[in-house]
Chain A
Amino acid sequence: NAGVTQTPKFQVLKTGQSMTLQCAQDMNHEYMSWYRQDPGMGLRLIHYSVGAGITDQGEVPNGYNVSRSTTEDFPLRLLSAAPSQTSVYFCASSYSPVTGELFFGEGSRLTVL
């Protein structure tokens, strides 16, 4: 099992560019989520999904879009990147958000110039 796989690991964008951070899990987890982590801070929830076709907003959803067409994949799209979106992004999955234990990817470090 690969667990949760995020790509790319590093990305540099210019302001206004768009990109997609990919996240895939092979554990057949229904629940997936995206977080961002800024220096000295904890993780802030961007969007989450409780199953294919179902997504909802987290704490800081503005500037990000998500979709969940399959159980395995949960891509995060930045439509028009801004320097404030410079951060490390983590994808996580869980069998159930109620029973807990999120499994995390290794992160994608994004710099917006």
Chain B
Amino acid sequence: SQQGEEDPQALSIQEGENATMNCSYKTSINNLQWYRQNSGRGLVHLILIRSNEREKHSGRLRVTLDTSKKSSSLLITASRAADTASYFCATDEGGGFKTIFGAGTRLFVKA
């Protein structure tokens, strides 16, 4: 079973617009991570937010975490064509050693 579920499954926007992706999970966590995957490549770590944090920024990325709702969101501001990729959230299921991924959101940014 997958811990994280992303929403939407796919998102198409114009360059310059903001992109928001959501992730919901099922069990308690110590941290939640977001990864990016370009087509046919390995995943690249974007940002990690701990369970005692509510918001975190990294460049054009903003991540929020609501542990009461077991949900997180990833906001990419001023998107670029190069942001076209799949984005996955991942959690340490139950605070253990397993990092479990969701099904991902496919983002397409049109130039």
A106 at the interface (CB under 8 A from B): yes
User: What's the interface size class on B, roughly?
Assistant: 20 to 34
List the A side residues contacting B1 at CB < 8 Å: 59
Query: In the bound complex, how far is the Cα of B37 from the Cα of A90, in angstroms?
Result: 12
A75 at the interface (CB under 8 A from B): no
Name the contact of A45 in the complex, choosing from B43, B48, B99 (C-beta under 8 A).
B99
B92 at the interface (CB under 8 A from A): yes
Number of A-B contacts (CB under 8 A): 72
Q: Which residue of chain A has the shortest Cβ distance to B41 in the bound complex?
A: A106
A74 at the interface (CB under 8 A from B): no
The stretch of B66-74, B76-84, B101-109 in contact with A is B101-109
Chain A binding surface SS class: strand
Across the interface, do B97 and A102 meet the contact criterion of CB distance under 8 Å?
no
User: What's the interface size class on A, roughly?
Assistant: 20 to 34
Cβ of B63 to closest chain A Cβ, rounded Å: 13
Q: Which residue of chain A has the shortest Cβ distance to B97 in the bound complex?
A: A97
**Per-position contact with B for A32-53: 1 when CB-CB < 8 Å, else 0?**
0101000011111100101000
Name the contact of A90 in the complex, choosing from B43, B48, B96 (C-beta under 8 A).
B43
Across the interface, do B43 and A102 meet the contact criterion of CB distance under 8 Å?
yes
Across the interface, do B2 and A44 meet the contact criterion of CB distance under 8 Å?
yes
Across the interface, do B99 and A33 meet the contact criterion of CB distance under 8 Å?
yes
